[in-house]
Structure 1
């Protein structure tokens, strides 16, 4: 058996074990990288560990540290409350506010599960209070998180752009971001009209009453009955406490920090990891007591996940597995058919496993397809990115599980589970095909 097959089998085992058992996939990836790298490829320990992307890890730490401070000082609550106020209490616009706020949070660096954990309980609380379809509301939150998730300064975006740069293709950042936002926005529009959005258009509520609802005892957004909710072996468990709102110095400084990070990273091309952690440290120094525990809320499970998987991805590439699979897909005779196969692989695997773990692995697999010239780098990257994340509505993924855990009492857990599962099945079966048909098939 060749090393490429050993690496492929180890990868499959990695995803299966990480899906079935509550073990962080990053830890499993380190084990797989060591065994495959040292015993199958003859690499030494230093060569195996050299695969980790220090810049990527620093980015994850920096942006989640900054976001933890924003969550602690109430800036997130302020954004939600002001957004509700802006729509003038129109009930039909509340789901769109939840979509937009969640998209903004992931776009500025929040991990997708963290954003869903914060906004999910608030959104589903609104669903109960104003008789909005809970499936629509919950899926709006997830699609919002995925829609903003590929901005150039987000976690998904940083991973995707870093991997594309590593395999020799740069300049795809905004194309991937816009594609993800557009597809998730279209899904939200379909959900809105299919699940009772028209009925809501004539309903109004007091804006002050709606905004005040963000402080109505929404506590511990990831817990139901005292049991933490985890998904895909990530071990993600983030307690959220929604505070009363009112503009304070901390809010202004935090919003300024977010704007400064975005401008510095994008306009001056500074490393987003260094910029974000600098902003976070500056805010921590201005309010040291309030932010003393913010570092504990850094998405350490996600950091371990990405560090481990990026290390294994290097070993996987060293074994020649991506090229092997990519050449097989290209050898199907039609490049676009090979691209469709990869889109479905990304979608199906991600519905049961971690999108964050999958992206560093599946994108290099597409390099042989891109090299043939039959598909552009940006469209292939966008197709794989969207196909691998649009399915996070699945109840087996962290985001879908969060919506299930925070269901309103207007629907039973079993009924809500069946609704989410049915919708996830439709998205998994149809989503990659639509993504492929729009992004890859035309040959942009």
Structure 2
């Protein structure tokens, strides 16, 4: 009987996840990035009009851009292009740019520049990633995965849905989406080969599942979106955001299965279709694993039941768990997603500077001048969706969500529905092989299949970019459900 060994990836997060995958030709990638960049800027130009930098005579001063607004905006565009082309943390660029523009051009002090530094969000990232690095290290995550897989022994077509739900559970509890994919991909792709399930289908389900739980009230992304909306004056429902993300990613998964079935691509390979998917290791939690599961339950009660800040709760749980592993402290601290801390802190600080000089309000008024707010929301979903396929979803969320403020203030659109549509459009496109999650799927398929899976994932990501933003907009914005 063939056995599939579970070997979860290291507990690294986001940009810290190192994968080995197929490298496309440099000229092909450079050409594609250039085309996407031009299309992205062209779409922005179409939205905001040619008069954005040179307003016509008699234009409303409130919607005219000054040099103090143009320069920071141009710097922001350059930052996104640089971060797309080279592996430079855009958060670091954001902090440096905030200092350079704020201190030398606007005459702001360092305290004024850092007035909106997102301390609570940074604490949440540190606390959650600190705790879950220990949960992965002591085997608790592996136990959860193997117990879930045992539930479908002999029913191989349920495996993609099992991994969808496990990924959603992990991210809803606080694990970053790329980290959840890194933990699950080796086992999931191994089971896919053993059960003759298309590895691309399995990979898509893992990524969709990770995004399904990615906006829970306990997750970093959920806290990030909620706090940005709150700071910009349009509070949203954290539970509704989570439900919207889960439902839309569930719908995308159903559509994915339907399309693969129509194309006859669900089954693939020469594995044993009715394999028992046996694993000789125990699936019963022991010692620290039981302790970790109890701490996860306590975190849920404290955060959801009593409304305690998840950052402090996760740090407290992490400290209790760390006291049992004094010798491995350096591993747990290394598991904190420092790259994401820098990214979020830098981008929110820089976007706060843009708000201070009026860039966000001016761009929003330019967009509102186009007409129907409901169509503007659709354009925003597509702009952030296309951009997120090649740039950081978190960075784009920090830049685009504030644009919804003026749009919501002059319309009857639901704040939760509009923000949820924008947030979901930014994340569902992470199936792209240029993203960490997509690259992890390619990295875990067999060597002889990687080039083919890479091409198929490119086509699948293109379809998602075309469909997902419109789906999120159609279900959440015009309907007013939320």
- TM-score (normalizing by structure 2): 0.82
Partners of 1:402 and 1:318 in 2: CA distance: 39
Offset of residue 23 of structure 1: 0.8
Match of 1:284 in 2: 322
Offset of residue 149 of structure 1: 0.3
Corresponding residue pairs, total: 410
Which of 362, 369, 373 aligns to 1:335? It is: 373
Describe the SS at the equivalent of 2:425: helix
CA distances 1:303-347 after superposition (whole Å, capped 9, x unpaired): 111111111121121121211121122211101111111111110
* Contact 1:14-1:32 at 8 Å conserved across structures: no
Match of 1:265 in 2: 303
Offset of residue 7 of structure 1: 2.2
* Contact 2:194-2:275 at 8 Å conserved across structures: no
Describe the SS at the equivalent of 2:154: coil
Partners of 1:30 and 1:398 in 2: CA distance: 23
Match of 2:224 in 1: 159
> For 1:167-186, what aligned pairs fall within 5 Å after superposition?
167-186=232-251
Deviates more, 1:121-130 or 1:135-144: 121-130
Partners of 1:275 and 1:334 in 2: CA distance: 43
CA distances 1:345-367 after superposition (whole Å, capped 9, x unpaired): 11011111111111111100111
> For 1:224-235, what aligned pairs fall within 5 Å after superposition?
none
CA distances 1:224-274 after superposition (whole Å, capped 9, x unpaired): xxxxxxxxxxxxxxxxxxxx7542121111111111111101211111111
Partners of 1:178 and 1:439 in 2: CA distance: 11
Partners of 1:356 and 1:139 in 2: CA distance: 20
Match of 1:427 in 2: 464
Partners of 2:465 and 2:146 in 1: CA distance: 34
Match of 1:5 in 2: 70
Offset of residue 51 of structure 1: 2.2
Match of 2:286 in 1: 248
Describe the SS at the equivalent of 2:181: helix
Offset of residue 203 of structure 1: 5.2
Match of 2:107 in 1: 42
CA distances 1:74-118 after superposition (whole Å, capped 9, x unpaired): 001000110011223310111111111111111111111111111
Match of 2:177 in 1: 112
Deviates more, 1:166-175 or 1:60-69: 166-175
Gaps of 5+ in 2: 1-65
Describe the SS at the equivalent of 2:389: helix
Match of 2:275 in 1: 205
Partners of 1:407 and 1:42 in 2: CA distance: 53
* Contact 2:236-2:415 at 8 Å conserved across structures: no
Which of 128, 140, 145 aligns to 1:75? It is: 140
Match of 2:409 in 1: 371
Partners of 2:204 and 2:241 in 1: CA distance: 21
Offset of residue 292 of structure 1: 4.9
Offset of residue 205 of structure 1: 3.1
The alpha-carbon distance between structure 1 residues 198 and 422, as it changes in their structure 2 partners (threshold 3 A), is closer
Partners of 1:134 and 1:296 in 2: CA distance: 31
Partners of 1:348 and 1:42 in 2: CA distance: 35
* Contact 2:197-2:266 at 8 Å conserved across structures: no
Offset of residue 423 of structure 1: 0.8
The alpha-carbon distance between structure 1 residues 292 and 23, as it changes in their structure 2 partners (threshold 3 A), is closer
Match of 2:38 in 1: none
> For 1:61-140, what aligned pairs fall within 5 Å after superposition?
61-140=126-205
Describe the SS at the equivalent of 2:223: helix
Partners of 1:310 and 1:169 in 2: CA distance: 17
Partners of 1:57 and 1:16 in 2: CA distance: 25
- TM-score (normalizing by structure 1): 0.88
Answering whether residue 364 of structure 2 is matched by residue 326 of structure 1, we say yes
Partners of 2:217 and 2:363 in 1: CA distance: 28
Offset of residue 204 of structure 1: 3.6
* Contact 2:185-2:203 at 8 Å conserved across structures: yes
Partners of 1:256 and 1:330 in 2: CA distance: 50
Offset of residue 148 of structure 1: 0.6
Describe the SS at the equivalent of 2:326: coil
Answering whether residue 454 of structure 2 is matched by residue 417 of structure 1, we say yes
Deviates more, 1:283-292 or 1:144-153: 283-292
Describe the SS at the equivalent of 2:327: coil
* Contact 1:322-1:366 at 8 Å conserved across structures: no
* Contact 1:106-1:112 at 8 Å conserved across structures: yes
Partners of 1:82 and 1:441 in 2: CA distance: 41
Please provide the CA RMSD for this pair. Answer: 1.9
